[in-house]
Amino acid sequence: MNQREIFYKHIAQTSPAPLALEIKDAKGIYLYDTEGKSYMDLIAGVSVSNLGHSHIKIIQAIQEQADKYTHTNVYGEYILSSQVQLAKKLTSLLPSQLSSVYFVNSGTETTEASIKLAKRYTGRYELIACKNAYHGSTNGSLSLMGNDDFTKAFRPLLPSTKKIRFGNKEDIACITEKTAAVFIEPVQGEAGIRYTKDNSYWKALRKRCNDTGTLLVFDEIQTGMGRTGTLFAFEQMEVAPDILMLAKSLGGGLPLGAFITSHEIMHVLTHHPALGHITTFGGNPLSCATGLASLTTIADEKLYQNVEKKSALFEQYLSGLSAIKSIRRKGFMIALEFEDRDLNFKIIDACLKKGVIVDWFLFCDTAMRIAPPLIITEDEIHHACQIISTSIKENT
Ligand code: PLP
């Protein structure tokens, strides 16, 4: 059996149509397959490879850390330099109340742990999330998912979860003294890039949470680490969360998640019971070393600064095409909306054949996802847009 046959036989298949590129190596914004064909990665491994692939600083960090040690003990027992330094760097870039970092392995784990923390801290169990929200795929996270198609086969999920309309001020009234936490994405990713420019919404949400003693949780798993044009999207919203959730690009390409809050809130995980959240691999030294290299590069070189300008180029080069019904974008979270799903999938497929990887959104299959590494150049954007334009023209 060749690799492709083994892939289909022994790697669990959950997608009806996996891309099934056989990857040989990757560098910058390019992936290379085993036949030598190159692909421009315009989705960055779904918002992970913000520095592109095989960045020299990431490779060096892996090599240096691997020379010292990898796993040593379960989370929180030993003092591990890469973990400590990453927490120091992260908290230095956040408002002072976000001072305590708990590292886990993935996005959905940060959601699960934040659900527990909010319940434990407030003594309440009602959770609120948004329609069309995506916070992960495990049981608790699925309970916060705002899409019936993806949840109904797995019910019953967590009781007492409510869904409100994203960006709708009236629905803020659903938050009451019974609500433990509100989970919300600053920009809804899987909904097909939806956000509100109206900061009075975020201020009203913050105020309602303060008034009711509800924790406000920002899911920056997809928006974080520079993707929206600032290091964290909430910097543009003029309000800060009680709990900040990070993952995806946080580890610079290795698995890492984190939930960050105040010492006062995090402290409840230390008693009744002690070890209120446990993970074996969370904050793995290798992932923290690459996370530190990635964060230091993004923050110190201010790689987020040109993101909005470069994102506007996509709109400039593509907006003349009548097949595109609308373009929604926030930094390097871009959605091109087409007439229907079939057309979207045909164009995505045509782009792939021509060596450009784009994607669709879980809850919006009529739109094309563009989310390139932050390091993409203006020339590369021009070239990518030529290929996307040709693919659109050939299919309309
Ligand atoms: N939250 C958001 C906003 C996401 O986009 C994702 C993943 O796409 C998750 C949570 C879950 O992250 P993970 O796939 O690492 O569990």
pLDDT the model gives residue 210:
98
pLDDT the model gives residue 128:
98
Residue 235 and residue 202 share a domain: yes
| pLDDT tens for each residue of 372-389 | 999 999 999 999 999 999
Q: Which of 257, 278, 300 is the last residue of a domain?
A: 300
Expressed in angstroms and rounded, the spacing between residue 236 Cα and the centre of ligand 1 is 21
Residue 145 and residue 27 share a domain: no
Atom of ligand 1 nearest to the CA of 255: 15
Expressed in angstroms and rounded, the spacing between residue 321 Cα and the centre of ligand 1 is 31
pLDDT the model gives residue 132:
98
Percent of the chain with pLDDT over 90: 99
Boundaries of domain holding 375: 3-54+304-394
Q: Which of 245, 277, 300 is the last residue of a domain?
A: 300
pLDDT the model gives residue 5:
96
Q: What's the CATH number where 126 sits?
A: 3.40.640.10
Task: Give the sheet arrangement for strand 215-219, strand by strand.
Answer: 100-104, 257-261, 243-246, 215-219, 179-184, 126-130, 161-164
Expressed in angstroms and rounded, the spacing between residue 68 Cα and the centre of ligand 1 is 31
Which residues of the chain are under the pLDDT cut of 50?
none
pLDDT the model gives residue 296:
98
Q: What's the CATH number where 308 sits?
A: 3.90.1150.10
Residue 207 and residue 145 share a domain: yes
Identify the residues whose C-beta falls under 6 Å from ligand 1: 106-108, 134-136, 185, 189, 219, 221-222, 247
Residue 108 and residue 63 share a domain: yes
The count of structural domains within the chain is: 2
Residue 268 and residue 376 share a domain: no
Q: Which of 290, 163, 294, 308 is nearest to 227 (CA)?
A: 308
Q: How many CA atoms lie within 13 A of 279 on its CB side?
A: 20
Residue 116 and residue 39 share a domain: no
Cβ-proximal residues to 26 (8 Å cutoff; 6+ apart), any chain: 32, 41, 53, 54
Q: Which of 300, 320, 338 is the last residue of a domain?
A: 300
Atom of ligand 1 nearest to the CA of 138: 16
Strand pairing report for 161-164 and 126-130: parallel
Residue 157 and residue 117 share a domain: yes
pLDDT the model gives residue 176:
98
Residue 198 and residue 139 share a domain: yes
In this structure, how many other beta carbons lie within 10 angstroms of the beta carbon of residue 383?
14
pLDDT the model gives residue 311:
98
Residue 209 and residue 174 share a domain: yes
Residue nearest to atom 14 of ligand 1 (CA): 107
Residue 161 and residue 39 share a domain: no
Residue 19 and residue 64 share a domain: no
| pLDDT tens for each residue of 270-324 | 999 999 999 999 999 999 999 999 999 999 999 999 999 999 999 999 999 999 9
Q: Hey, which of 46, 48, 108 would you mutate to test ligand 1's pocket, going by the most ligand atoms within 8 Å of its Cβ?
A: 108
Is the whole-model pTM more than 0.85? yes
Residue nearest to atom 12 of ligand 1 (CA): 107
Residue 265 and residue 138 share a domain: yes
